[in-house]
Amino acid sequence: MIRTTEELIDRIADDLVWRRKELSDLRALVQESNGQLRSRVVIRSAVALLYAHWEGFVKKASSYYLEFVASHRLPYRRLAPNFVGLTLRARFFELSVSEKVSGGNALADFFCTALDRQSNVPYRNVIDTKSNLSSKVLLDILAALGLDREQFSTRLNFIDSNLVNPRNHIAHGEDLVVSVTEYLDLHDDVISLIETFRNEVENSSVLRKFERAAA
């Protein structure tokens, strides 16, 4: 379990090391291919991989943060509402696959008596990017984790128009031409997005935003 902020920051940093190396190599390949016949293929491949690292990092960092929050085992009463919501979502899912008439009893018991119990926040396989990390999906993840969406408010259209849509066109084998300059700008913007998400997760852990503010 990830129990301290330092451990969380280290795990996120470790995940970023190999991504940064691969993305740096990718950027160099695109620049080296400029003016060559293979440039179009290199750039199309680079766009797809650039998106993959964005989606992969968001999913990994989100899972690490959930594991960090879960390790504290705070009473539900002291948890920020979004994490109580994740617990309820998991219980609702369990009920939806249960055929027992008495299935709702456990949920009723939670509402009536569980607020002072140690929490059991789910963290495995919770974050679903739907293999298509659009602005809508991103906002849902931010809300589930209690992260500040304001930092992404001016980039939502960019995420859909400049990153997700081109990646989808390429992944579906459609003919999409991206220039070297366009790719380099996209690359730098996605690196910035990754850093913004990283900062939000780390700041939330340091400031203990996962904990309900005292009344």
Q: What digits encode the pLDDT tens for the residues 53-81?
A: 999 999 999 999 999 999 999 999 999 99
pLDDT tens track for 186-213:
999 999 999 999 999 999 999 999 999 7
How would you label 132-143 residue by residue, b for 16+ Cβ within 10 Å and e otherwise? ebbbebbbebbe
What was the pLDDT predicted at 100? 66
pLDDT tens track for 18-58:
999 999 999 999 999 998 889 999 999 999 999 999 999 99
**Chain center to CA of 121:** 17
The identity of residue 105, as a single letter, is N
What was the pLDDT predicted at 96? 65
Collapsing DSSP to helix, strand or coil, 44 comes out as helix
Listed in sequence order, the residues at least 6 apart from 76 whose beta carbon sits closer than 8 Å to its beta carbon are 84, 87, 114, 115, 116, 117, 119
Two tokens, residue 161: 């128009």
* C-beta of residue 46 within 8 angstroms of C-beta of residue 52: no
What was the pLDDT predicted at 103? 66
Q: C-alpha angle with apex 172: 166 to 175, nearest 5 degrees?
A: 65
How would you label 152-184 residue by residue, b for 16+ Cβ within 10 Å and e otherwise? beebeebbeebbbebbeebeeeeebebebeebb
* C-beta of residue 63 within 8 angstroms of C-beta of residue 204: no
Give the whole-angstrom CA distance, residue 101 versus residue 137: 34
pTM over 0.85? The answer is yes
Q: Residue 113: which pLDDT band, with cuts at 50, 70 and 90?
A: confident
Residue 177 has pLDDT above 80, yes or no: yes
Mark residue 176 as left, alpha or beta (left: phi above 0; alpha: psi -120 to 50; beta: remaining): beta
Listed in sequence order, the residues at least 6 apart from 106 whose beta carbon sits closer than 8 Å to its beta carbon are 91, 94, 95
pLDDT tens track for 116-159:
899 999 999 999 999 999 999 999 999 999 999 999 999 999 99
Two tokens, residue 65: 């943060």
The full set of domain ranges for the chain reads 5-73+125-206, 74-119
